[in-house]
Structure 1
C-alpha cells in the first residue's frame, strides 16, 4: 500500500529494551540528513544483532542517543559495552562534558584493542574539553609511543608539532596522505609557499583540497624543471580528474610513457581542443600495437579523419582487436551509407549482426532498426527487432528500452500475453531502469504514471544498519559500522593507495567513504562509474556488486530528508519525486552553482528565486541554504504541475527546459502517446533529464517501499529467461 506514515522512532521503554536485548531494530522513515541507508551483511568483531544496536543509535536525537548508550554501558554483561563506551565518549566530548567522557574511556583501549589508538585520541580530546593541557600533550605522546604505525597517530603528531616541529616532520614522512598532515602542509606553505616538495604532497594526496588546481598550476609553471616523470604523472592525473583535459594531456607528455599515458596525451589534446591529437593517437598505435589503448586510438583517429582514412583505421580495429570489432563495423557502415555505398553498408551490417552478434554495437544496430520500424508504424517488425535485442544482447544499454517497447508494440498487435511477459521481463532483468517503472505502470502497479505520480504518498522504509565494506582494514570497517564517517574517511585516505587504477571493490569503497562525509557528487559518481569497467574480470566483479542492495543504496542516498518531507507535504508533492529531482539537479550538494547561476539543491536561478519569494512573501532567504532552497524549488515544481494539469512528465520537463519550450512541444504534439512524446522531446538534455528524474524516483521507490520491493522480487522469481522473437 503506497501511503505516507509519519516516522516513529521506537525508543520508549519497550523500544530501548528491544534494542538492548538484540531484537530486530525497526527501520526508520524520513529521518535527519546525516543518515545513510545501508543493508547489513555480517559483522567484524560481533554478531549482526549487536551491530544493529549500535548503528541504529546514530539515527536518534542526541539526548535519546546518549541515554540509550548509557543504558548499554551500565550493563556489564553486554557484548556491545565497549562499542557503547566509545560512542558515548564521542557524544560527551561533543557536548563539552570532558570529565564524564574520561570516565567512559577509562582503560577502554584494553577491552577494545581494535580502536585502541582512537581511544587515546578521544582521551586527549576529553582532556582538551576540560582544559587540562598537560594531560592533552601526555596522552598525545602516549599515542605516538604506543601506536606508532596507526594513521590516527598523524593527528597527535600534528598537534604536538606546535611545540616541536620535528613531530610535524615525522607526520609528513610517515603519513603524507593523512588529512591532518595535509592541513599541516597547507599551513607550512602559507608561511613559505616556495616549497615544491610540499606542493607535490598535495598534488599526490589531496585531490579534495580547495586550492588543488592552484597547486598543480604552480608546480607546472614555476617548478617544471625540478619535476620527475612520476611527479608529472601525478599532476596529469590530477588535471584529468578535475576534467582539465588539455592541461592533463600536456602533463602526460612528461610522464612515464605507458600505453594509458600515451593514449591520454591524445585524448587530452582532443578534449582540450588543442592541436596534436591525431599525431598522439598515431604514436600510440605505432608504439603499442597490441595494447587495448591502440584500439581506442584507432577509433578516435577514425572520428578525426576523412572517410577514406577513417575506413582504413576501422579495418585495422576489426583485424586486430576483436573486442572492438563490432563498434568499428557499425561506424564503417555509417560511413559507407554517407558515401552512398548502400550495398556495402548492408553487407557490413550483416557481418556485424552475425559474426559479432553479442557486441554492444550489434545491440545498437538492432535497436535503431526497431525504432525505425516503430516510427513507420510497422509494429510487427519493430517487435521482432526489439525482441532480438533481448535475445542476443540482454546486458546491453538498449535492452531495458527494448523490453518495454516490445511490450508496447505487442499491445498494438493485440498480443496481450506477450506484452505482459515483456513488461515483466523489463522489471525482472532491468529493475533499476526508467523502463522498469514504465512497465510497472503498464501492469497496473500502484507506482504512479505521468498523470498520477504527484499524488502518491509512498511509505519509505530505510535499513537501520550498514553493510561491511568490501576492502579496508578491520579498523576502517569498524569505524564505518559505528557511523564514525569522518574518521573512516581520514583513515581511507591513507589506506587507498591506488587511486589511479583502483579495483572494483576499492572504487566502490571510495564512493561510500565520500558519501559518508557529504561529498554526494563525487561519491555517486565513483559508484556509478563502475559501469564503465570493460575488462572481463572487472565486469564480472561489477555485475556481482550490482546484485547487492548496498550498491543501489549508495547510488540513491537520502540526505536532507526533513526539509524534503516538510515542503513536499506543504506543496502536496510526492516526496520521492522531489528527492529524485534533487538527485538529478545537484546530487544533494547544497552549495553547488551552475555556469549560468542556478544554485543549491534544486538549482534555483536567482531571478526565479526572487520571483517565487515575492509570491510567497518570503523576505529573507539564501539559495544555498537547504531549507530555503527546497522551499522555493518545491513551490516552483508545484507551479509547473499546475501549468500542466498535474502531469508530472510535463512539469519535470518544464522545470528543466522552461514552460515556453514545453508549451510549444505540447501544442505541436497534440494528443500523443506520452511515451512517444518523451522520445520525441527535441532537446536531448531535457529528454535525458525527464528519464533520469523518473528513473531516480523509481529506484527510491523499489529500494525503500516494501510493497514495491516485494513485487519486483516476486516478478524476478516468476519471470522466464527471455522472449523468443518471431520470424
Structure 2
C-alpha cells in the first residue's frame, strides 16, 4: 500500500529522490527485488548528487546480493566505495567486496577485510571480518596482526586481542598489551609494560592521546605515590611533558605547583595546558593578595589566550581585584565581559551576583529559592532553528522532511548539524546523548546565542518535574537546584552507574541510600530500587536536605557535601578562610568537588536564565 501511495506522487515533487528511495525500500520489504533495483537505479541516475545517493548506491549492492547476482553486487559495492569514499557506506562496501571474493580471490578478500578493520576497528562488521580472516587461515604480517588485535580490543575481546599482541615485538605492542592486561585485571603485567614502553620511549607510532592515556594508566596502577609516579614519567618521557607536568602540579601544594606551572607556560606556551597553567599562576598571586602581580598575569592571559576554558575565571577575578580596590568602573567592565562572552559559565553566575551588588548592594551568592516550582516537563524541545533558517542554510528538502516526520533523512540533508542531531535524538528519547551532543556543539560556538534561543533547552531540558517538585517541597529545597544536581550527576539517565557504583538519577551509593531509608523509616532498599526514578529522587532529595540541615541552610556547603561528604566539608570550613566565599570555592582541596560545585551552580544559573525563573536577577 505504501509503495502504491508513493507511486501517486508527481515526479516534479521536490522530494522525488526520497520518494524513489522509499518505494525501493517498500519493494525490498515485500521481496520484490526487481522493482527495488529499478527504483534504486532510477534514483542514482536522476539524482546522483542527492544526499541519499550514497545509501541508495549501497542498498542497490545489497539488493543485487539478495537476488544472487554476485557479479553486479560486487560492481555496485566498488562503485559505492569509489564515488562515496568518505562515507560509512564505503566502509560497508569493503566488507561486502571481501565476502564476495572469499571463494574467488582469497588474497583480495583478505586485503579488503584488513582494509575494513584498519578504517573501522569498532565498526559493525569488524568482528565478522576478524572471524573470516581466522577461518580462511590468512597469513598475517606483523602489521596485520596488530590491526586484528586492535579490532578485537575495540570490540572488548581483550583475551583474544592479547594473544595477537603477544605475537609482536614488545616495542611495537607494549601499549596495547598494557591496555588489554589492565582491562583483564592483570595489574602487574600492565604496569610493567607501561613502564617499559614509556621508559624506553617506544612511543613513536603512538598519537598524543594514546601516550597520555598510557601515562595516566601508569600513574593509576603504580603502587608509589601519585607524585612519584608522575616524577618517573617526567624522568623517562620526552613527549607530552606539559601533560605530565600539569598532572603532577595538580597533586602538589600551591608553592610547589607554581614552579611546574611556570615551566609549562614558559616551555609550552602553545600547548593544551599553557592557558590553565597561566591561570593557576594568576590565581596564586591573587590568592596571596599580590594584586599588582595578579593583574599583570591576568592581562597577559587575556592578551595571549582569547577564548579558553580559563578565560571566564581570569576575567571574573580581575573584576574581583578591581572591586576590592574600589575601582568600580574596571570591575563592572570585566564582569560584563564574562556575562556577554561566557553567558553559560559558572563565572557568569557569579559575575551577575557581583554586578547586582555593585548596583544595589544585593548578591544572592549561592542562596536558592525553595518556593520556586518547575513547570511541566519541557523535554520535547522546539526545533533548534526556524524553518526559514533551515531553508536558507540547507534548502527546502529538510524542512519538508521535518514536517513529514522523517528526521533521519532530514539529517542527511543538513550535513549532520549537531543541534538538529541533538533534537532528533530527543524525539527518539535518547535524552543523555541529546544533551551531550548539544552541549559539545554549544561549547564550540565563540558567539553564544541569546538565552531565549531554543538550542539552550536542548542542553537544559526539564524532566521529572512532578517528582522533583513533590520531594523538593517536602524537604524545603529549591527544585531547580535538585534538577541541576541531577543533570550533572547523571544527565537524566535513570540507569546511570559510576565507577564508584553510585546509581541512578541522583547517583546514590547503595550504603548511603540504605542509611537515608533507615533515617526516614522508608523500609528496606536494595540497589535495583535506585534505578527507579521515584525512589532515587525521594532518597536523593532527603540526603540533600540532610546536608542542608548539617550546614544551617548553606547550599554551597550542601552541594559540596553531596559530592565529597559532610565530614570533608566541615574540615574545609575549619581550615579555609570564609571572608570571601568565591575564594573559598577556588581553594576547595578536592579538585573533583571544586569542579562539581561550579558545574551544579553553573547549571542552576542556566536553568534560571533560560526559563526565566523568579530570582534570576
Question: What's the CA shift string for 1:359-395, capped at 9, x where partnerless?
Answer: 7665445433332223323334334433332233332
Tell me the alpha carbon deviations over residues 203-258 of structure 1, each in whole angstroms, 9 at most, x when there is no partner. Answer: 9769597xx998899799999966685795586378569899x9799879989x9x
TM-score relative to the length of structure 1: 0.54
Q: CA deviation at 1:295?
A: 11
Match of 1:376 in 2: 288
Paired position in structure 2 for 1:427: 339
Tell me if structure 2 keeps the 8 A contact 1:486–1:516: no
The equivalent of 2:350 in structure 1 is 438
SS of 1:465 mapped into structure 2: coil
Q: 1:636 to 1:588 in 2, by over 3 A?
A: same
> Post-superposition shift, 1:616?
7.1
Change (3 A) 1:634 1:166: farther
Equivalent position to 1:465, from 383, 405, 411: 383
The answer (yes or no) to whether the contact 1:358–1:392 under 8 Å persists in 2 is no
Alpha-carbon distance in structure 2 between the residues aligned to 1:475 and 1:280: 57
Aligned to 2:185: none
In structure 2, the CA distance between the partners of 1:159 and 1:436, relative to structure 1 (3 Å rule), is same
- The aligned residue for residue 40 of structure 2 is 147
In the alignment, is residue 605 of structure 1 matched against residue 509 of structure 2? yes
Superposition deviation, residue 695 in structure 1: 2.0
- Distance in 2 between residues matched to 1:513 and 1:155, nearest whole Å: 23
Distance in structure 1 (CA, Å) of the matches to 2:235 and 2:199:
18
Deviations 1:33-65 (A, max 9, x none): xxxxxxxxxxxxxxxxxxxxxxxxxxxxxxxxx
Distance in 1 (CA, whole Å) between partners of 2:589 and 2:483 is: 26
Matched residue SS, 2:326:
coil
Aligned to 2:459, which of 540, 545, 556? 556
Q: For the structure 1 residues 521 and 640, does the alpha-carbon distance in structure 2 shift closer, same or farther, using more than 3 Å as the test? A: same
| Separation of aligned partners in 2, 1:121 and 1:687 | 56
Do the aligned partners of 1:144 and 1:153 also contact (CA within 8 Å) in 2? no
- Alignment equivalent of 2:8, drawn from 91, 104, 107: 107
1:278 matches 2:198 = yes
Question: How far 1:114 sits from its partner (Å)?
Answer: 4.6
Counterpart CA distance in 2 for 1:118 and 1:292 is: 43
From 680, 697, 700, the equivalent of 2:604 is: 697
Match of 1:405 among 317, 331, 335: 317
Give per-residue Cα distances to partners, 1:685-710, cap 9 Å, x unaligned.
Answer: 1111111122223334444549999x
Match of 1:236 among 150, 175, 184: 150
For the Cα contact (< 8 Å) 2:165–2:173, is it kept in 1? Answer: no
Shift of the 563–583 alpha-carbon distance from structure 1 to 2, 3 Å rule, reads: same
Rate the CA distance shift 1:368–1:559 in 2: closer, same or farther, 3 A: closer
Q: Residues of 2 paired with 1:482 and 1:231: CA distance?
A: 48
Find the aligned partners of 1:517 and 1:204 in 2 and give their Cα distance.
29
Whether contact under 8 Å (2:338, 2:351) holds in the other structure is yes
Deviation at 1:524, TM superposition (A): 5.3
Question: Are residues 1:388 and 2:300 paired?
Answer: yes
Once the two structures are superposed, residues 656-687 of structure 1 have per-residue CA deviations (whole angstroms, 9 ceiling, x without a partner) of 12223223333444744322222222222111
Offset at residue 653 of structure 1 (A): 1.4
Instruction: Normalising by structure 2, report the TM-score.
Output: 0.62
Aligned to 2:365: 449
Q: Secondary structure at the match of 2:356?
A: coil
1:578-727 aligned at under 5 Å gives the runs 578-612=482-516, 615=520, 617=522, 622-669=529-576, 671-705=578-612
> How far is 1:440 from its partner?
0.8
| Higher mean displacement: 663-672 or 466-475 | 466-475
Q: Deviations over 1:4-46 (max 9, x none)?
A: xxxxxxxxxxxxxxxxxxxxxxxxxxxxxxxxxxxxxxxxxxx
Q: Quote the Cα distance in structure 2 between the aligned partners of 1:470 and 1:239.
A: 44
Kept in 2: contact 1:452–1:647 (CA 8 A):
no
Change (3 A) 1:304 1:243: farther
8 Å contact 1:507–1:530 — kept in the other structure?
yes
Kept in 2: contact 1:456–1:574 (CA 8 A): yes
Distance 1:597 1:400, change over 3 A: same
Instruction: Say if 1:216 and 1:235, in contact at 8 Å, map to a contact too.
Output: no
Give runs of aligned pairs for residues 515-534 of structure 1, distance below 5 A: 517-519=428-430, 521=432
Q: Is the 8 A contact 2:285 2:294 kept in 1?
A: yes
Distance in 1 separating the partners of 2:489 and 2:598: 13
Q: Decide whether the 8 Å contact of 1:117 with 1:147 is kept in 2.
A: yes
Cα–Cα, structure 1 residues 159 and 570, in superposed 2: closer, same or farther, change >3 Å? farther
Consecutive unaligned residues of structure 1, counting only runs of 5 or more, are 1-98, 125-134, 189-194, 318-323, 497-504, 533-541, 712-727
Deviation at 1:303, TM superposition (A): 6.4
- Please give the alpha-carbon distance, in whole angstroms, between the structure 1 residues aligned to 2:166 and 2:470: 49
* Secondary structure of the corresponding residue to residue 30 of structure 2: helix
Cα 1:670–1:392, aligned 2, differ >3 Å: closer, same or farther? closer
Q: Relative to 1, partners in 2 of residues 1:236 and 1:659: Cα closer, same or farther, differing over 3 Å?
A: same
Structure 1, residues 428-457: CA drift from partner, whole Å, max 9, x if none?
222232111111122129995312355555
Query: How many pairs align?
Result: 538
Structure 2 CA distance for partners of 1:589 and 1:530, relative to 1, 3 Å: same
Distance 1:451 1:341 in 2: 35
Distance 1:546 1:483, change over 3 A: farther
CA distance in 2, matches of 1:561, 1:171: 51
Relative to structure 1, is the Cα distance of residues 424 and 451 closer, same or farther in structure 2, using a 3 angstrom cutoff?
same
Distance apart, 1:465 and its partner CA = 2.1
The corresponding residue for 2:105 is none
Quote the Cα distance in structure 2 between the aligned partners of 1:696 and 1:465: 22
